[in-house]
A and B are shown apart, each in its own frame.
Chain A
């Protein structure tokens, strides 16, 4: 087990395409850290630099106390799990799990011990003789995890390991990987494009975009206090609503609508009076309950619902204010249909304001 330190890491392909810029981060021993971001944001490239599969253009990378920039990948004591199951189709589960150990010249008895132990942890004991074809997607991915576990590495590197699974299995495997981490306590870097995976599995999340770290923090902190518009919009489903308007004398003006800004928030907006800013508010912080609306006279408004999507326990309402789209997440007991007019109110204590130029949260 080990901590991992990135000091100003860069990856520049062939001198002109910068995939990762100035990546600095300290990952503590036993952490489960998730790199999340859209396609092409540099998360997999960063992971591959840790694995040694991509050369580091600039910067220093430490695993434990050792700088590993020039250490061969096989000597870094890491194990990788990929989106593809990465199994040998004509080997049974036992041989698939044992192969990496055979390569490293482990003794037979040690191999057997490790494989059976990993199989037990992953619930694969009864399937050791099976070939991958005779297994479900979830079982195959468990074998892939087993191939990594048997090595007992210092660090697990997982690159979108659940993306090939269907939605139901993904939820199940998410929990299994979390439990596995709790049991093994191995430092893990997990790459995903899926913000739900990031939120549910990470001890800390690293949000990336265009090769740059946008924010690092615990899932709740990132959700509640996004550093910029990108993070606010990327983390959370449905995404945070962003409404452009003007701050004037303690009110946020959205066309004809005037929404009172709470004192606490107003203090932070000292330099922004009479300026255009962006209001960010999560869908669940727009309410339709009469009690809330009554108590929020200065943040209530009426809007026509374009579409109402019943999701089961909740309903997503798609609407517009000042010709800008927003989504409200309300209790599904509300019986609303497209075309209805509805009074709603924003919980302004939960909202954020962002600079319209830099898109950074004003704080």
Chain B
């Protein structure tokens, strides 16, 4: 869609949106989050109104950032302008990480959402929006930083206040400003591909996202052959769910049993039953990895 606009309205698209005054900017965003800024002065009033109505995006501080750092990051990461390492280093210390979010539902108030997110992820000086439903935080990993152990709780906090669902991807730490664009582009692309992978997967953490990314486009035949190994337990959803939680809890039976609200021995019994039925010893790490990937595939097929 935006390519056609680019072609038909090339005369009204500035090479750098910062070159035109904010009041003359008209920014549109497609569903992929790609943004395009027009110079309103070069459009007729009708054209500007039509584009504005169709895409309904306003050029506001929401998207461009309110602080110098936000503006710099906006230009570097979203506007794909040349990286000015030294200037960024003046405003942002390493290491830091990106926390990407996708909002499902209508937010009444973006600023208060930002306030909430920054409160839930302290030491985050930046919250930038790619479009109305996607954005990211930059969280500095300094002496005030505390690793949040219960991200599910963060999602519930947002839901209870804003009545929206969010999907989060907590990226890995960035230690050098030189890598910022590559790092951001990689994480953004991968998150973009895997989010919504499963109706129940609400949070991805660092490289946990990779298996989802790798398995996203596996041919059906390959999936079918791979999942044949699970055939003996395929009908036993409870068993599959229990073993999945066991693997997600790093094969820690006590922790997994707590999560499943069951006695440790009952879970142990289920794990043994799985091993007996499938002949896959999931207490061995390589086998556990293989079964975990099979479960991700199952999830992809929405069978879990």
Q: Give me the interface of A with B, judged by CB distance under 8 Å.
A: 13-14, 16-17, 38-40, 51-53, 72-74, 76, 79-91, 99-100, 102-103, 144, 147-148, 163, 193-194
Contact = CB atoms under 8 A, between A and B. Distances in A.
B159 A53 contact: yes
Given A39-B238, A100-B161, A84 B109 contact: no
Contacts of B157: 84, 86-88
Contact of A74 (B153, B162, B165): B162
Given A40-B241, A82-B156, A100-B160, A17 B260 contact: no
29 contacts: A40-B237, A40-B238, A40-B241, A51-B163, A52-B163, A53-B159, A53-B164, A72-B105, A72-B106, A72-B163, A74-B106, A74-B162, A76-B163, A79-B160, A80-B159, A82-B153, A84-B156, A86-B160, A87-B157, A88-B120, A88-B157, A89-B119, A89-B148, A90-B122, A91-B119, A103-B162, A148-B160, A193-B261, A194-B261
Nearest to A19: B199
A84 B153 contact: yes
A86 B156 contact: yes
Most buried by A among B116, B157, B162, B302: B157
What 5 pairs across the A-B complex have the smallest Cβ distances? A73-B163, A84-B153, A82-B156, A86-B156, A86-B157
A103 B160 contact: no
A90 to B, nearest CB: 5
B285 to A, nearest CB: 26
A73 B153 contact: no
Contacts of A99: 116, 161
Nearest to B105: A73
Given A40-B241, A53-B165, A82 B112 contact: no
A79 B164 CA distance: 13
A147 B165 CA distance: 18
A150 to B, nearest CB: 12
A117 to B, nearest CB: 19
Contacts of A87: 153, 157
B303 interface: yes
A148 B159 CA distance: 12
Nearest to A53: B165
Contact of A73 (B116, B152, B164, B237): B164
A51 B303 CA distance: 25
Contact of B160 (A16, A81, A163): A81
Given A17-B303, A81-B160, 13 more contacts: A13-B199, A38-B238, A51-B163, A52-B163, A53-B105, A73-B105, A73-B164, A76-B163, A82-B156, A84-B156, A100-B160, A103-B161, A147-B160
Interface string B149-186: 01011001101111111000000000000000000000
Interface string B126-165: 0000000000000000000000101011001101111111
A53 B163 contact: yes
B260 A39 contact: yes
Interface of B: 105-106, 108-109, 112, 116, 119-120, 122, 148, 150, 152-153, 156-157, 159-165, 199, 237-238, 241, 260-261, 302-303
Contact of A88 (B116, B150, B302): B116
A38 B237 CA distance: 11
Nearest to A159: B156
Contacts of B156: 82-84, 86
B254 to A, nearest CB: 14
Contacts of B112: 102-103
A147 B159 CA distance: 12
A268 B89 CA distance: 82
B120 A89 contact: yes
Nearest to B163: A73
B302 A13 contact: yes
- Most interface-central of A14, A51, A99 (chain B CB within 10 A): A99
Contact of B302 (A14, A51, A73, A100): A14
Contacts of A194: 261
A354 to B, nearest CB: 21
B302 A84 contact: no
Nearest to B165: A53
A81 B153 CA distance: 11
A173 to B, nearest CB: 16
A16 B302 contact: yes
B223 to A, nearest CB: 15
A90 B119 contact: yes
Contacts of B162: 74, 103
A100 B157 CA distance: 10
Contacts of B163: 51-53, 72-74, 76
A84 B152 contact: yes
A13 B105 CA distance: 17
A214 B255 CA distance: 31
Most buried by B among A76, A144, A148: A144
Nearest to B303: A17
A155 to B, nearest CB: 13
Given A14-B302, A38-B238, A86-B153, A80 B261 contact: no
B151 to A, nearest CB: 9
